[in-house]
Amino acid sequence: VLSTWRVIKLEQKSIRERERAEEAEREQRRLAMRVVQAQEEERKRISLELHDAVGQMASAMGMELGWLEAAQK
């Protein structure tokens, strides 16, 4: 009877530990997804900043070329 009780207690402990491990794994997945989402948002922000900066430079170059062409005439 005592050994049966020990087996039951060990099984219960094993179940609790497995449940804790599964919850930790779920939390790890949630955190990993948040990291990926943050990285994607940062990439979008950087790409928009680069797009805006390149657009401004292209506009400025176009204006300068226009001035140079007008000055040569």
What pLDDT score was predicted for residue 1?
A: 64
**Per the confidence metrics, is the pTM higher than 0.85?**
no
How does pLDDT run across 8-39, given as a tens digit for each residue?
A: 999 999 999 999 999 999 999 999 999 999 99
For the record, the structure tokens of 8 come out as 């039951």
Dump the DSSP string for the chain.
-HHHHHHHHHHHHHHHHHHHHHHHHHHHHHHHHHHHHHHHHHHHHHHHHHHHHHHHHHHHHHHHHHHHHHHH-
